[in-house]
Amino acid sequence: MNPARPSLAQILALYEQPFMDLVYRAQGVHRESFSPNQIQCSTLLSIKTGGCPEDCGYCAQSVHHQARLAVTPLLPLEEVLAAARQAKAAGAQRFCMGAAWRSPHPKDLERVAEMVRAVKELGMETCVTLGMLAPGQAELLRAAGLDYYNHNLDTSPEFYGEVIHTRDFQDRLDTLAAVRNAGIKVCSGGILGMGESRRDRARLLETLLHLPEAPESIPINALVPIAGTPLAQAEPIDDIEFIRTIAVTRILFPHSYVRLAAGREQMSDALQALAFLAGANSIFLGDRLLTTANAGLDRDAQLFAKLGLVSA
């Protein structure tokens, strides 16, 4: 099997390996490129919340849903910097800023670029997620010093239309191309537990594999059902299937950070330990992600101590 570009059938064959064999193989691949006991830590801040015109079925920030989320404007620079300083003090190496836009308005993007420059001056890596980018916008962010742009594919091209109707799958690929062409590192992954099949999960990974370059960071999110959204009653993904996806991702992307992202608050310490064993080596620190609860600093400190993990 060509490890760089396996077929969908070969990816599904990885999924079908006996669980112990799959995790053992993933841990071996992980150790070839990363320290097995180091975890890259980021913090995510919502710098503009709610009022989004997109209809992503999992998201509380959509104007199409009834999640009753308070809408807030773009945060002032000093408030963002205060959060970044706090994140750095807590051990985060990367500060991620998210805004609920379909795509940023030029005047808002200038303010975000200012935030990027200021956070860089603190000595942190920077990441933003702002929706789709128009020509020239990625270059503006790169000139400000942006390190990473997050734009998740979410799921397979075939299942995508079951979850989102206000933009096409190709729109997401076009934004990733713009980001990469501007010289910014790519952060892109998916969400598990939205009703997708194993084939959809494999197709998501296949699509990421066929990007011109592999994403440097791959978030694997477990859906957090939110009241008032179309996926509020979605059946949670099976724990073992979730770990299988982490392991397959690690095998397919040996040099990428695989982030155990949304859903950690609901995960037991044992499940998170299995995820790290299967090759996850990145998390978000803090009590909240964009609009959902996160595991929290105290719990993460206790988990790291239990497992002998350290911040990378």
Burial of 240 (0-12, 13-18, 19+ CB in 10 A): exposed
* Cα 222 from Cα 236, distance rounded (Å): 8
128 φ, ψ to 5°?
Answer: -135, 155
Nearest to 206 by CA among 2, 1, 4, 8: 8
Could you give the CA distance from residue 44 to residue 84 in angstroms, rounded to a whole number? Answer: 9
Using CA atoms, how far apart are residues 261 and 267, in angstroms rounded to an integer?
A: 11
* Token digits of residue 99: 């805004």
Q: For tokens 């350290």, name the residue.
A: 310
Active site residues: 52, 56, 59, 96, 127, 187, 259
Residue 183: CB partners within 8 Å, gap ≥ 6? Answer: 142
